[in-house]
Structure formats: C-alpha cells, structure tokens
Amino acid sequence: MLDDVLGPSLDVLFCGINPGMTSAATGHHFARPGNRFWPALHLSGFTPRRLAPSEQHLLPSYGLGITNIVARPSAKASELTRDELVAGGERLAVLAAEARPRILAVLGVSAYRVAFARPKATVGPQEHDLAGTPVWVLPNPSGLNARWSLDAIASELARLRSHLG
C-alpha cells in the first residue's frame, strides 16, 4: 500500500491511477524512472524546483497532495479491472469530501472515464464535481503514455495552475 500525501488546505489533490511496481517498492508516488509527473509539476510552476519522488512529503507545503484511484500496484494500468476502478472512484469521493481540496486532478482520462462512468470525458475541467470538489482531468504522466510529451503534460498542468488564480 502506498500512503496518500495529504495536508490541510490543499489547492490540488493529484490522483494517479494506481501505483506502479517501483512506487510500491519504494513507497513513493510516481517513482518509476521515466515517469513525467515530477518534471511536469516543476515545469508547470507548481514547485520551485524539480522534486524527487522521495521528497513527496514536501508537497503539502505547496498546497498539493497525491492519492490513487486504485491502491493495488501493477506494472500497467491496463491490468486493473473495471470493478477496481469503480470501487476506487467511490473511495476517492469519500477522500475528496474529507480532504476538501480546491480541485481534484485525476491523472489519466481513460481510468477516469471508467471509474466515474464518464465515457466522453476529455482532458481539462469537468462539468461535474466529486463530493463538492471540482474535477480536472490531466494526461497520465507515465512514460508508457506515448501520446503526451513532457512539454504537453506540463502545459496541461500549467493550465490547471492558472485556473487556481
């Protein structure tokens, strides 16, 4: 199990799909070499420097947190079942109600579509909220996601950041 990174007064709670094997082994989110979350977070202006996965504990000082839809680690997100994603979405609604971030940012449109029964969702702000929390969908930063470059992922994170004001 990978612990959530939470704190008071979160601006953004980032939500990955599920931990990869490297993250599960290290206890750090987005820990696999080649994952673009940490560089994109910095390039978008959310952090003043590129943080290492082992520095995830610093995120709440920037108003940021991390969780996952599904707790079970896997080599690929495609190994998750529909039932796991739906159950994870229900757990995430409870967490959003408790943590009360300004925005819940889900990193992975395909998993989001399944977990929340939103088959036509696209990257960007969503029309519905989750437990009173606005939802924003971002590209999956996994190195396995060849559709999105680091610069494009950072650009989407910057768009979210500018929305926060």
Threshold 0.85, pTM exceeds: yes
Distance CA 11, CA 64 (A): 6
Q: 């996952």: which residue's tokens?
A: 68
Give me the architecture of the 12-164 domain, per CATH: 3-Layer(aba) Sandwich (3.40)
According to the model, what pLDDT value does residue 122 have? 97
3, 155 in Cβ contact below 8 A? no
According to the model, what pLDDT value does residue 144 have? 80
**29-56 per-position pLDDT tens digit:** 999 999 999 999 999 999 999 999 999 9
According to the model, what pLDDT value does residue 1 have? 78
Region 19-25: mean pLDDT is 95
According to the model, what pLDDT value does residue 101 have? 98
**56-75 per-position pLDDT tens digit:** 999 999 999 999 999 999 98
10, 65 in Cβ contact below 8 A? yes
Domain boundaries, the chain: 12-164
Quick one: which H or E segment has residue 130? strand 124-130
Q: Sign of torsion, CA 18 154 113 129?
A: positive
- Report DSSP letters for 67-115, one per residue: EES--S--SSGGGS-HHHHHHHHHHHHHHHHHH--SEEEEE-HHHHHHH
Confidence class for position 146, pLDDT limits 50, 70, 90: confident
Distance CA 30, CA 96 (A): 20
